[in-house]
Amino acid sequence: MSVGITQAEFAVLIGVSEAKVSQLIGEGVIERGQTAHAWLLAYCERLREVAAGRASIEDGGLDLVQERARLARSQREAQDIKNAVARGEFAPIGLLADVLGMASSAVVDRFEQLEGALRKACPDLPDEAKATVQQVIANARNEWIRATGKLVVAELEGMASDDEGNADDAFAEEVGQ
C-alpha cells in the first residue's frame, strides 16, 4: 500500500468506477502521485465527512450545515408565529387587510351620508359652510388612508429587517459561532 497506484487499480480496490476515481481527483479528494495508502486514507476521510453530514456526496451538492441552519430558522419562525397567534399578537395580513377594508368602508359610507344629514339638520347652513365641512372631512379621510398605508409599510419593513437579522442569528447558532 506504500507504492503508487493507478486509477483503475484504486477503482477496483474501493469498488467504484474509474470515472468516479477521476472525479475524486478532480475534486481534490485524492491527489495524483500519492501512494495507495494515502488515497485510501483520503477516500475514507471523505466518506466519514459525508456520513457525518459535513460534506456532500457530489461536488457542488447541498451544504448540509447551511441546509440545517435554514431548516432550524424556518422551524423557529413557525413556532414564533404560533406563539404570537396564541398571545393574540399576530393575525394573517389578509385578515387584517379585510378588517381594515371593512372599517374604512363603513367610515366612508358615514362620511358620504354627511351631506344629506347636514341638509336635514341645518337647512339654513350656507353652501360655502357645507363645502368647507365636506372638504375638511375629505381631507381627514384622505390623511387617515395615507397614514394607515404608511404605518403598514413601516411595520412590514420592520418585520422584514427583523427576519433578516434572525436569519443571520440562526446561521451563526447552527454553525456554532
The pTM of this model reads 0.38
> Which grid coordinates are listed for 4?
503508487
State the DSSP code for 123.
Answer: T
* Residue 122 φ then ψ, to 5°: -130, 75
Asked whether the beta carbons of 54 and 64 are under 8 A apart, the reply is yes
Identify the bridge partners of residue 35 per DSSP, sorted by sequence position.
Answer: 4
Q: Up-side HSE of residue 74: CA atoms within 13 Å toward CB?
A: 6
The Cα–Cα gap between 25 and 143 comes to 68
137-154 pLDDT, tens digit each: 888 888 887 887 788 788
Judged by DSSP in three states, 129 sits in: helix
The Cα–Cα gap between 147 and 71 comes to 37
pLDDT score, position 76: 96
pLDDT score, position 20: 93
Q: Which of 164, 154, 175 shows the shortest CA–CA distance to 72?
A: 175
Is it the case that residue 93 has pLDDT exceeding 70? Answer: yes
More confident residue, 54 or 5: 5
Asked whether the beta carbons of 3 and 10 are under 8 A apart, the reply is no
Question: Which residues make Cβ contacts (< 8 Å) with residue 73, sequence separation at least 6?
Answer: 166, 167, 170, 171
